Amino acid sequence: MNNPKVRVRFAPSPTGPLHMGGVRTALFNYLFAKKHGGDFILRIEDTDQNRFVPGAEEYIADSLNWCGLSPVEDPARGGKYGPYRQSERKNLYRKYADQLVESGWAYIAFDTTEEIEQLRKDAEAKGETFSYGIGTRESLNNSLKLSQEEVQQKLDNNESYVIRFKMPKNLDVTENDIIRGSVTFNTTKSLDDKVLFKSDGMPTYHLANVVDDHLMEITHVIRGEEWLPSLPLHVLLYRAFGWDDTKPQFAHLPLILKPTGKGKLSKRDGDKMGFPVFPLEWKDPSTGEIFRGYREDGYFPEAFINLLALLGWNPGTEQEFFSLEELAEAFSLERVVKSGSRFDPEKAKWFNKHYFQQKTVSELSKLFKPVLSEKGILADDKKIEKVVSEIKERCEFVSDLWEQGSFFFAEPVTYDEQAVKKRWKAETPEQLSEINTLFEKVDDWTAASIKESFSAFMNEKGWNFGAIMNPLRLCLVGGNMGPDLFVICEILGKEETGSRINKGIKEIS
């Protein structure tokens, strides 16, 4: 068989916001497709109507878009294998379920939810667990046990039913996983008769997923480790449909672990440990609860993608910074590890710092401007750029620009007490007044010429530099942080510098 074009899909269920693990699954699918000149597809698996969450599908699309992972086929763009939302494909699954009933791979079951609940409780009382399958199905209310007439009668009476897969007895199902190698499952040991088609007329995940992967000509299924237990059922479904020769290859990605390395990173961990777990902010529509997002926390998508790629994959070299294109070039599933990878929030910040530093002053200034206007500050672009170029190096996030540089735009309202105690002497106000008088006379208001006049004056007076510079900084900045003092004077302008010195003298003394 000649190799078909690589087609992979990201197939989330819109049951809530996409966790960063989900974005990583999308990313690895995207990279694999790019690497092999294939197609990356988004399919929305929304067959479980009870778990539908409004806004979740938009959230998924927005997240992929923010990360730059655009599918070539998806519900919005369409494509020749559409529709790409399973609820819109509803009518096509039934015939596949029927086909399995006809061929004896599946059966009709009439047991009600209450009956099954009772069986579960009875088993529990005996310290056992009930499973609908190999050991129990022949005594239950289904087409294996009932006569054909009885079944027909129930159907004629419109009794509600499901279609279940008939798991073969004691069969070893072996499949190759690109990441894990050969994996074997024994049907009797671990598998029950999963529902394929529900009484509400909808397929379950298993049926819809396999049928769609087949119809959409998916060549590789790349998904999270939590789906590994479903693999034998899916493999058997391909066998049952007679689709073995076009069955996709499988790759189950490792878990992303908590920063402690113990246990899977969960949606609550972010709030507990102070970092985002979701790509974008999410407001739970039923509780109103807000979950923070990487985007709103000030991460650049490049940084987010880069850090995600290295959770479970490594290039086999020392290289740590990769653009999306470089990732696609370097990526291979063979270099994805089996074991879980620990998420390190500090490393995440470190990645952001790298991409922050890569940005030009003008790019960062454009991002800083809205932060300023939100605070009611209207500064001209030149000034913003000057400030950014002075403080850029100390920052990892756009929000740091405000933390490091707010005093350029707003005069201090308080003065650091510790610094005042240490630096403000009885003679300071008098000395600063003299400096102010000197500054008034500086014509060329640039850092260099301010410094020159200042130094000459200091030498003439025989004053100690530190004894003046520190309280001067206190007046201008409110504390002892910030870049070069004369650069601060220059950016503030002569008038503002003078007024801050006067204000400091009045308020600190």
Q: State yes or no: residue 18 binds ligand GLU (CB under 6 A).
A: no
Q: State yes or no: residue 29 binds ligand GLU (CB under 6 A).
A: no
Minimum CB distance to ligand GLU smaller for 28 or for 368: 28
Q: State yes or no: residue 12 binds ligand GLU (CB under 6 A).
A: yes
**Taking the complex as a whole, how short is the minimal distance between the CB of residue 225 and ligand GLU, in angstroms?**
11
Summarize the chain as % helix, strand, coil (round to 5). 50, 10, 40
**Taking the complex as a whole, how short is the minimal distance between the CB of residue 114 and ligand GLU, in angstroms?**
28
User: Which string of x and - marks every residue 189-208 that binds ligand GLU (by CB under 6 A)?
Assistant: ----------------x---
Place of tokens 């609550």: 268
Supply the DSSP symbol for 489. H
Q: State yes or no: residue 52 binds ligand GLU (CB under 6 A).
A: no
Is residue 70 within 8 A of residue 81, CB to CB? The reply is no
Q: State yes or no: residue 209 binds ligand GLU (CB under 6 A).
A: yes
Minimum CB distance to ligand GLU smaller for 61 or for 140: 61
- Contact with ligand GLU (CB under 6 A) among 13, 142, 143, 365: 13
Amino acid identity of residue 104, one-letter, is G
Q: State yes or no: residue 19 binds ligand GLU (CB under 6 A).
A: no
Q: Which two tokens stand for residue 120?
A: 């579960």
Residues with Cβ < 8 Å from 68, sequence gap 6 or more? 301, 305, 324
**Taking the complex as a whole, how short is the minimal distance between the CB of residue 227 and ligand GLU, in angstroms?**
5
Q: State yes or no: residue 75 binds ligand GLU (CB under 6 A).
A: no
Minimum CB distance to ligand GLU smaller for 140 or for 222: 222
- Inter-helix orientation angle 90-102/231-241, to 10°: 80
Q: State yes or no: residue 45 binds ligand GLU (CB under 6 A).
A: yes
* Count, residues near ligand GLU per rule CB under 6 A: 8
Minimum CB distance to ligand GLU smaller for 45 or for 175: 45
Q: What is the C-alpha separation between 483 and 478, in angstroms, rounded?
A: 13
Is residue 14 within 8 A of residue 46, CB to CB? The reply is yes
Q: What is the C-alpha separation between 454 and 469, in angstroms, rounded?
A: 10
Catalytic, 267? Answer yes
**Which region, judged by CB under 6 A, interacts with ligand GLU, from 11-19, 240-248, 329-337, 342-350?**
11-19
**Taking the complex as a whole, how short is the minimal distance between the CB of residue 207 and ligand GLU, in angstroms?**
12
Q: What is the C-alpha separation between 33 and 222, in angstroms, rounded?
A: 11
Catalytic residue among 90, 264, 267, 503: 267
**Taking the complex as a whole, how short is the minimal distance between the CB of residue 127 and ligand GLU, in angstroms?**
33
Q: State yes or no: residue 492 binds ligand GLU (CB under 6 A).
A: no
Q: Which two tokens stand for residue 189?
A: 């040991």
Q: What is the C-alpha separation between 103 and 184, in angstroms, rounded?
A: 25
Place of tokens 């932060």: 371
Minimum CB distance to ligand GLU smaller for 27 or for 391: 27
Is residue 324 within 8 A of residue 27, CB to CB? The reply is no
**Taking the complex as a whole, how short is the minimal distance between the CB of residue 262 and ligand GLU, in angstroms?**
24
- Contact with ligand GLU (CB under 6 A) among 52, 81, 227, 463: 227
Tell me the Cα Rg of the chain.
Answer: 33
- Total count of residues recorded for the chain: 509
- Contact with ligand GLU (CB under 6 A) among 11, 307, 432, 468: 11
Supply the DSSP symbol for 258. P
Minimum CB distance to ligand GLU smaller for 9 or for 473: 9
Q: Which two tokens stand for residue 499?
A: 């007024």
**Which region, judged by CB under 6 A, interacts with ligand GLU, from 10-18, 95-103, 149-157, 290-298?**
10-18
Is residue 83 within 8 A of residue 90, CB to CB? The reply is no
- Contact with ligand GLU (CB under 6 A) among 223, 247, 386, 423: 223
**Taking the complex as a whole, how short is the minimal distance between the CB of residue 222 and ligand GLU, in angstroms?**
8
**Which region, judged by CB under 6 A, interacts with ligand GLU, from 8-16, 155-163, 419-427, 456-464?**
8-16
Q: What is the C-alpha separation between 341 and 255, in angstroms, rounded?
A: 6
Instruction: Give the number of other Cβ atoms within 10 Å of residue 262's Cβ.
Output: 9
Is the backbone peptide bond immediately before 17 cis, with ω within 30 degrees of 0?
Answer: no
**Which region, judged by CB under 6 A, interacts with ligand GLU, from 9-17, 153-161, 320-328, 456-464?**
9-17
Is residue 14 within 8 A of residue 313, CB to CB? The reply is no
Minimum CB distance to ligand GLU smaller for 55 or for 479: 55
**Taking the complex as a whole, how short is the minimal distance between the CB of residue 77 and ligand GLU, in angstroms?**
20
Q: State yes or no: residue 306 binds ligand GLU (CB under 6 A).
A: no
Minimum CB distance to ligand GLU smaller for 11 or for 277: 11
The closest alpha carbon to 79, from 202, 245, 215, 220, belongs to 215
Q: Are strands 256-257 and 341-342 parallel, antiparallel or unpaired?
A: parallel
The closest alpha carbon to 47, from 167, 165, 211, belongs to 211
Catalytically annotated residues: 267
For ligand GLU, the binding residues (CB under 6 A) are 11-13, 45, 205, 209, 223, 227
